[in-house]
Structure formats: structure tokens, C-alpha cells
Amino acid sequence: MSFGNITQHAGEWLRGQGPQSDIVISSRIRLARNLAGFSFVNRADVVEQRDVLDRCRREITDRLPDGEVIWVDLNQSTPLDRQILVERHLISNQHAKSKAELPRAVAIGADETFAIMVNEEDHLRIQVLRSGMQLAEAFEQINRMDDTLGQHLNYAFSKKLGYLTACPTNVGTGIRVSVMLHLPALKLTGEIEKVKRAAKDLHLAVRGLFGEGSDALGDFYQISNQVTLGRTELEILADFQHSIVPQIIAYEQQARAALLRDRPAQLDDRIWRAWGTLTNARQLGTEEVLTLLSHLRLGINMGRIDKTDVATLNQMLLLSQPAHLQRLCGKEMDQAERRQARATLMRQKLGFA
């Protein structure tokens, strides 16, 4: 595959546009589907896995009208290319790192608004990504794609339990609705713990930047549904649109207002220290960059600093990730070299190098 220009721009989830994009970074929906007549991926032998992959490739590349589809055979790609796809949120860590002999792939929309993982935990993991709060648009797109593929692939489906998935926690609709939220003020005021507890009471999962098992680096929180059985797709979606997301946005806005009212000096200090470090540091780690970019993003969105814009920050966020950084510099680098290259890149992007 050619990554020639894919690493040059920020991709859909970091486009920094769309409704409420000062807090809602991106909207994501995924559907888990399996083909009838086959074992699930973890129990299938290589012949079956290959058969599933071939069938899915044929239908995906022939039937999907959504512009150009890039088919990436992950067995043929390098670990660095796979890591780039993880950093762009197009495949999961698990899909990047599973056993070398497992035939697996991802079909990516040329505009990066969708990615279909084949032979991850389920035969198909269809996902649609949009920047900002665009769950309705994302659902419309994924539902259409699912209808198209479902007319030509025999999905494993039961009247009682719905779409059958390898893990029973996904059975039913097989849907996972997630929003990536930037909640720096709730983090600074410590109220984020309350939000997390409330989310858990509502059977929602709160995860970090890179999904399952990752920390909330850079004050990014990914909130997603866990219940997939006994509720319709639209009910699950409506919870996010009308109650969960608006409430968390309101809390974050209140926390931002409170910071400005009660602790303006402390707030500005954070923002300007971030600016100072990013424009001067000679060595920077990934986590540190995420924290600094988070404070700067808060400053821009609150109108406390106007030296750069959110689009630039999004680009910096993506390019500072290990695989993107190495691709950008055109060579493999160890951690120490990456720390230096990362600091240089940050200064360049902010006009200080």
C-alpha cells in the first residue's frame, strides 16, 4: 500500500471541525459482524480464515460506493505501517499485533471516514469516524454500508440474540457508539472522577485516547456504550445525543467558567507554561507532549492565547506519535532520538525553529 500522502494530513478524527468540536473531538460507531457457516476468528483454522478474508475483500471492494477503498493486507505490511494505522485510529492495537500467520486486513475509505477490519476479534468490524459531534451522520453512513454488505454476505444472526459475535458482550446489535471528549477543566478541578462514576452507573465505558486499556492521555476521554442486547441502535444513539454528551459538555463548560472566575492566574500559568515548553524544549516524550498540547488547546478554546490554532495542534498531536514521527523523518529511531526529533518538530510547527 502507499502511505505517500496519508501521513501528510491529520485524518478525519483530528480534522478539528464539526459541531461542538471545542469539546467533542470525534464521533465513532462500529458494528461487529460475522459470517454464518464459519467458526469465529479465534477458533478458525487458516483455511477458513483465508476464505473469510477473500469473501469479505470481494464484497467490500466491489460493493461499497463510498469513494475509493484502500485495501491493506496487514500480513504484507511492516510493523511501522501497522502502527501508523493504529495512531490514526483506523485499526486496533490487537489487529496490528496479532499473530503473524493470521490472514487479516483493513479496508480504509480514501477520506478515512471509515475502516473495516477483517479477521480482528470478529470477521468484520465496520467503523465510521467523524470529527466533532456527528453521531447521526456516522450512523447513517455505517447503516448504509452494513445494509450493502449484508445483502451479499450471510451474517450470523439469530432471531433471539441478534448479530452473533465472538464475545458475548457485543451480541445483539453489535454496536459500539463512542465519543472522544477533551475534558481538561474537569481534570484540573478533579470533577472528572464524578463524571467517570456517573458514566459507569449508566453502563458506559470510559477509556483513553487509544481505546481499551489506554490511559486518558492529554485529557482525552473516550466514552462508549457497553450494553448491546435488549436496546435498539437508535435508543443507544439517542442516549448519547440527547443526554450523555450534552450533560458532559455542560459540566466541562461550567468547570472552564469556574477556573476562569476563581483561578485565572493558575489557568493562564498552565497555558503559557505549555507554550513555553513546546517552543523551547529540546527533548520531549509522547505523554508530555499530549499534556502540553491539551493545555494549549484549552487556552485556544477559551481565548486565552492566540499564537496558534486547533488545526495545528491536531497535526502536532498526530505527528508526534512514534510511528508518524519516524515516517516523517524517514528513518527508524530509538526512543532518545525520537524525543529530540519530537521537540524539534514541535518548535517547527509553532514557528520557533
Partner 1 sequence: MNKRKCDKCDQPATHHSVEILKGAKIEKHLCDLHAGEEGLAIKAVHTPINELLTHFVKLHSGAPAARPDRQCSSCGLNFSQFRASSLLGCPHCYEAFENQLKPMLELAHDGGDHHVGKVPLRDDAIERGEQLQLQVMSMRKRLAQAVASEDYELAATLRDQIGRLQEQQP
Q: Given the rule CB under 8 A, which residues bind partner 1?
A: 34, 36-40, 42-43, 45, 48, 55, 121, 143, 146-147, 150-152, 154-164, 166-169, 171-173, 175, 197, 200-201, 203, 205, 212, 226-233
Q: How far is the CB of 335 from partner 1 (least distance, A)?
A: 30
For partner 1, the closer of residues 120 and 219 by Cβ is 120
Distances (CA, A) of 274 to 219, 243, 267, 271, 283: 14, 33, 11, 5, 14
Please report how the helices 322-329 and 79-87 are oriented relative to each other, as an axis angle in degrees rounded to 10.
120
CA 345, CA 217: separation in Å to the nearest integer?
A: 20
DSSP three-state, residue 27: strand
Q: How far is the CB of 94 from partner 1 (least distance, A)?
A: 12
Q: How far is the CB of 216 from partner 1 (least distance, A)?
A: 14
For partner 1, the closer of residues 83 and 228 by Cβ is 228
CA 252, CA 185: separation in Å to the nearest integer?
A: 6
For partner 1, the closer of residues 59 and 81 by Cβ is 59
For partner 1, the closer of residues 152 and 242 by Cβ is 152
Please name the residues in contact with 317: beta carbons below 8 A apart, sequence gap of 6 or more: 14, 218, 289, 290, 293
Q: How far is the CB of 205 from partner 1 (least distance, A)?
A: 6
| Long-range CB pairs of 2-9, under 8 A, 24+ apart, other chains included | 3/81, 3/84, 3/327, 6/84, 6/88, 6/112, 7/84, 7/319, 7/324, 7/327, 7/328, 9/315
CA 258, CA 24: separation in Å to the nearest integer?
A: 20
Q: How far is the CB of 99 from partner 1 (least distance, A)?
A: 14
For partner 1, the closer of residues 147 and 332 by Cβ is 147
For partner 1, the closer of residues 51 and 268 by Cβ is 51
Q: How far is the CB of 42 from partner 1 (least distance, A)?
A: 5
CA 252, CA 264: separation in Å to the nearest integer?
A: 16
